[in-house]
Each structure stands twice: as structure tokens, then as C-alpha cells.
Amino acid sequence: MDSFPLLSVITFLPLAGAVLVALLARGGDCKTGVKISLGIGFVASLATLGLSAYMLHLFDPANTAFQFVERAVWIPAFNIAYIKGIDGISVWFVMLTALLTPVGLLSIIGGVRTRAKEFVIALLVLETMLLGVFTSLDLILFYVFFEGVLIPMFIIVGAWGQTKTGYAAYKSVLYTLLGSLLMLVAIFVTALNAGTTDMTALIGNPNLPPHMALWLFLAFFVSFAIKTPIWPFHTWLPYVYEETPAAFVVMSGVMLKMGSYGFIRIGVQMLPHASTDFAPLVIWLSLIGIVYASLAALAQTEMKRVIAYSSVAHMGYITLGIFSFTDQGFDGAMFVALSHSLVAAALFLGVSVPFERLGITKTARYGGMANNMPRYAALFMVFTLASVGLPGTSGFIGEFLTTQGAYLANSWYGVIAATGMVLGAAYMLVLYRGLFFGPSDKPDVAAMKDVNVREMAMFAPLLVLVLWLGIHPADFRHIYAPTLDKVISDYQAHIQGDTND
């Protein structure tokens, strides 16, 4: 297996599926064309999931070096290579991407009524780009996949949005493109000064003057902050969540982690001193974002926007944990990233259930659904409790550790972060009450049928993992913990070494 390019196969298998859909699924929106499109999409995504699970089986958690490494000369004139590999951090993002794609494809059956073939193609291309981001070990290759995400993102938001499609599509892409251009400049400057774009060679040893490292970190920071997104770079996200079908938002649960992944891989590992200098700024932006987004979620009248602002708040916990530079903070940030990817996907699928039946996003338009949709109410309650951090669910461990890590860095950080947890419980319970309790005085709402077999199949893997993460987190933590410990120890060694000098 050492010579088999497992990561490349995993990365490009969805793209191969997209090509097959384009070639074989003829007939537009006819039933046959849709069935062929979805059939090929499911086969490609499930094969990717199977290979990813096999990769996880082969992965050695005790080995903190990058594994399954692939190297090939790409652009020799500029010393740029095709390098792929994973460690205990990236392996979980690969697994999440591979898992959520077939879940998203299931939601297409009820949520996408036109141009299903093209949507399947766009979703599979998006999967390839995300897998490429989390497995790239060359800055240029990383950038190609990082930017490649914008292509299917723009197409999906623009072509399948609900109302303000043009505004949502252009705003999201222009925001992220602006940050990415800054990152490209930073990559070129890094390559010119360090003589390489190999991330494994740059980690901890960028050969950059301190003042230049600060400017490079700032450029990377803007790009990752927009992609994460954290306050005040978040304004594109509510429009995208509100406008697009559930399948894309399911995938965006992982897409939002590209920024936080970049903060660890490039910020902390490649530019540790600059990360330390900018840490207070990032922490305060994170804390403001947690409180602001929570209050904004509490004020929303549309259920999709509640989930959008909830995501902004949870992303604040991730960056807060990373830049607290504590063991608990790093551990909590990683756990929040895993949990939020699942919970956000489940919650958006949840609010899409009534939307697909009535086409209405206003929370006040519903009510009393627990009476006629008890299975749906029970499922949504589990994911609501996971979002607010109930012990026994995946949400509790990450937020608790992140808040603890923030408190150890500064007691005020912990107090403000805990305030966000209280507000999070408020807006999620308000949403749940508005949807499921109260009188069943709206005939069309009272007539809605409970979740069907397809919808249960969408929720089932997410439900199992949310409870599994909450009840037995060690099954997941033991994979990433050694790598995360090494990241922290290397960071502390670099900082302490310069202090002693």
C-alpha cells in the first residue's frame, strides 16, 4: 500500500463521478436522467466514504508524522511539488467530507426540483475540492483546492438559490475571493524567502524575518477569517444559508472548517510567533462574534438564519480555543469542529423538512408540529440539545473544553465565552418552541406528514455520531490527540526557545 496513491484516489474519485454524470445522465430533469445522476453520485460518494474509512483503519494515531504521503514533481522551475498527506487532524475532516456528501445527495431528492443532474455534478466537484484542501501539503496545491471550492459554491448559490440569488452568490464569492488573493500574495512571498512551498518543510522553520512573518500572518488571517467565518467577516454566510438548498449547507458544515484548519496548519505551525502576537486580536474578535451572533440568532424570525448565526457563534469557539494556546483550548476547538460539522448539517436538514413541504422560512408560520410530526420533533430535539451543549451529546465536550482553555488563558475570556453558551441555549430553545409547541391552528402545518424513510436515512448517521461523540469521545479523540499534542509542544518549544535566546 505504500506505493498506492490512496489520498489521490479518494480526492479525485468524486470528480470522476461528476464526469460520468455529465457523460451518461442525459435527459435533463426527466426521471431517468435524475435517477442516473443520483445513482452515479451515490456510488461515487459511497466509494469515497468506503476508501476513507479504509484509510482511517490503516491510520496509525501514535505516528504524529504525515501519513500516506505522495510526492511528485509538479512545477520544477519554481520548486513546486504535488504533495499530499494526512495527520490526526486532517484525517477527521476527510472523513466528515466523505460522510456528509451522500447525506447531501439524499436531500437532493426532496430539495432540488430542477437541474438535479447539474446539482449532483456541482456537489461532487465540491467534495473533491474539500478533500484536496485537507490532504494538500504544498501551499500552491492547497491554494488551488482552496480556491476551487468557490467554483461549485458560486454555481450552487447562484443557480439554486431561493430569492436573492444574485446577491448571495456574488457577495459570498467576492468576500472569499478577496481574502484568497491576499493569501496568494502571502504564498508567493513565503516561497521567495523560504525557497519552497512544501508545508512540511515550512512548519516551524519558515526562515522569515519577524516583521515579514507578521504581515504574512495578517494576509493568511483575512483569508481564513472570511472562510471560517468569524466576526466581522461573517456577513456573507446568513445569505448563503438562507438561499441555498440543504445539500449545499450540509457540505458547508465542513467547508467552514477550511479556515480553522488553515489557522492550525499555516498560522500556528508555520508562523507561531506571529500567531502569538495576533492572538489577543483573534480572541477578542472570536468573543465578540460569539456574543453578537448569539444575540443576532435570538432576534431572527427565519429559521434558516437562526442556524446561520449559530454557526458563526460556534466558529468563534473554534478560533477562541486555538488562539488561547492551551491544551484544553486546542482539544476543545478540534471537538467543536467535529461536532458542529454534524450538528449544523442535521439542524439545517431539520429546518429544511417543513420548508420542503410548504416553502416557507418564517418560524412564526409554523407551530404545534410535535402533534402531527412526533418523530421529526424528537430528532430535532436531540440536535437542538447538541447545539446548546447538553452533556451526553457532542456539543457539550467541545464547548466546555474551549471555555475552560479560554479561562486558563484569561478569566474574562472564559466568562464571556460562557455567556455565549447561555445565549446559545436561549435562541435554540426559542426556535424549537416556535416550530413544535403552541396550538395547531394552521391547517396546512397540521396536515404535514412526519419524516419519511428517506429523511430518516439522512438523519440516522448524524444522530448516531452526535450521540457517540458525546457518550464516548475517546473513540474519536485518540485519533487526533497525539498530533494535537505535538502541534502544541512544537509551538511551545519555538516560543520558549526564542524567549531563552
- Given a contact cutoff of 8 angstroms between Cβ atoms, the answer to whether 274 and 216 are in contact is yes
Q: How far apart are the first and last CA of the chain?
A: 44
What is the percent of the chain with per-residue pLDDT over 70, rounded to a whole number?
91
pLDDT (mean) for 136-158? 86
Residue 32 lies in a domain: no
Q: Which amino acid, residue 100?
A: L
Q: Is the pLDDT of residue 494 over 80?
A: no
pLDDT at 91: 93
pLDDT (mean) for 353-364? 80
In the Cβ-directed half-sphere of 416, how many Cα atoms lie within 13 Å? 20
pLDDT at 162: 63
C-beta neighbour count of 182 within 10 angstroms: 17
pLDDT (mean) for 365-392? 87
pLDDT at 27: 55
pLDDT at 204: 67
What is the percent of the chain with per-residue pLDDT over 90, rounded to a whole number?
19
Residue 405 lies in a domain: yes
Handedness of CA 492, 497, 500, 501 (dihedral sign): negative
CA dihedral 149, 150, 152, 158 (to 10 degrees): 150
pLDDT (mean) for 158-179? 68
pLDDT at 58: 93
Confidence of residue 116 (pLDDT cuts 50, 70, 90): confident
Q: How far apart are CA 19 and CA 387, in angstroms?
A: 37
Residue 112 lies in a domain: no
Q: Is the pLDDT of residue 164 over 70?
A: no
Residue 37 lies in a domain: no
b/e per residue 99-129 (b: at least 16 CB within 10 A) = bbbbbbbbbbbbbbeebbbbbbbbbbbbbbb
Q: What are the φ and ψ backbone dihedral angles of 60, each rounded to 5 degrees? A: -105, 105
b/e per residue 418-456 (b: at least 16 CB within 10 A) = bebbebbbebbebbbebbbebeeebeebeebeebeeebe
DSSP 206: -
pLDDT in tens, 251-307: 777 888 888 888 888 888 888 888 888 889 999 999 999 999 899 988 888 888 888
Residue 236 lies in a domain: no
Which of these, 266, 272, 328, 213, lies nearest to 496 by C-alpha position? 272
pLDDT (mean) for 216-224? 86
Query: Which residues, other chains included, contact 52 with Cβ-Cβ below 8 Å and sequence gap of 6+?
Result: 10, 94, 95, 98
pLDDT (mean) for 344-356? 84
Q: How far apart are CA 1 and CA 40, in angstroms?
A: 27
pLDDT at 33: 65
Q: How far apart are CA 54 and CA 1, in angstroms?
A: 12
pLDDT at 206: 56
Q: Is the pLDDT of residue 246 over 70?
A: no
Scan for cell 465565552, then name that residue.
417
Confidence of residue 76 (pLDDT cuts 50, 70, 90): confident
Q: How far apart are CA 57 and CA 331, in angstroms?
A: 22
The per-residue pLDDT of the chain, averaged, comes to: 84
pLDDT at 128: 94
pLDDT at 229: 82
Q: Is the pLDDT of residue 339 over 70?
A: yes
What is the pTM assigned to this prediction? Answer: 0.88
Cell digits for 368? 404545534
Which range of residues forms the domain containing residue 328? 277-493
Picking from 29-33, 82-86, 120-124, 426-430, which range would have the lowest pLDDT averaged per residue? 29-33
Q: Which element (helix H / strand E) includes 163?
A: none
Q: Which amino acid, residue 373?
A: M
- Given a contact cutoff of 8 angstroms between Cβ atoms, the answer to whether 385 and 393 are in contact is yes
Q: Is the pLDDT of residue 481 over 80?
A: yes
Which of these, 386, 389, 229, lies nearest to 312 by C-alpha position? 229
User: Total domain count for the chain?
Assistant: 1
pLDDT at 113: 60
In the Cβ-directed half-sphere of 215, how many Cα atoms lie within 13 Å? 11
- Given a contact cutoff of 8 angstroms between Cβ atoms, the answer to whether 62 and 454 are in contact is no
pLDDT at 169: 66
Q: Is the pLDDT of residue 109 over 80?
A: no
Q: How far apart are CA 490 and CA 328, in angstroms?
A: 16
Residue 208 lies in a domain: no
Cell digits for 265? 496548519
Distances (CA, A) of 206 to 39, 43, 307: 46, 42, 39
pLDDT (mean) for 315-342? 89
Q: Which residues pair with 75 in a beta bridge?
A: 80
Residue 346 lies in a domain: yes
Query: Which residues, other chains included, contact 25 with Cβ-Cβ below 8 Å and sequence gap of 6+?
Result: 33, 34, 36, 37, 40, 117, 120
- SS3 category, 361: coil
Residue 448 lies in a domain: yes
